[in-house]
Amino acid sequence: MIMKGKKGLIVGLANNKSIAYGIAKACADQGAELAFTYLNDALKKRVDPIAAEFGSDKVYELDVSNAEHMDAIASLIE
């Protein structure tokens, strides 16, 4: 388990067919603890159940064009 004890942030997850989902699955399969982000409320509805599938309740709003979001995300995932 190469990722055991490691933490990862999955950004850009849209559904279980996205590349981000594949990355999340590979990391989780190798023992990583994951946090997830969503862009808006419509996508949050999709991300929440996927995060739960990976045993995570760490789901945060992140719009990379919003400086406040970018400033806040680091402290949220510490």
Going by pLDDT thresholds of 50, 70 and 90, the confidence category of residue 69 is: very high
Over residues 36-56, the mean pLDDT reads: 96
The set of residues, in sequence order, having a beta carbon less than 8 Å from that of 22 and lying 6+ positions away, is none
Going by pLDDT thresholds of 50, 70 and 90, the confidence category of residue 78 is: confident
- Amino acid 2: pLDDT: 95
Give the domain ranges of the chain: 7-77
How do residues 47-65 score in pLDDT, each as one tens digit? 999 999 999 999 999 999 9
Percent of the chain whose pLDDT exceeds 70: 100
Q: Kindly list the distances between the CA atom of residue 68 and the CA atoms of 2, 13, 71, 74, in Å, as whole numbers in the listed order.
A: 33, 20, 5, 11
HSE-up (13 A, CA, CB side) for residue 36: 29
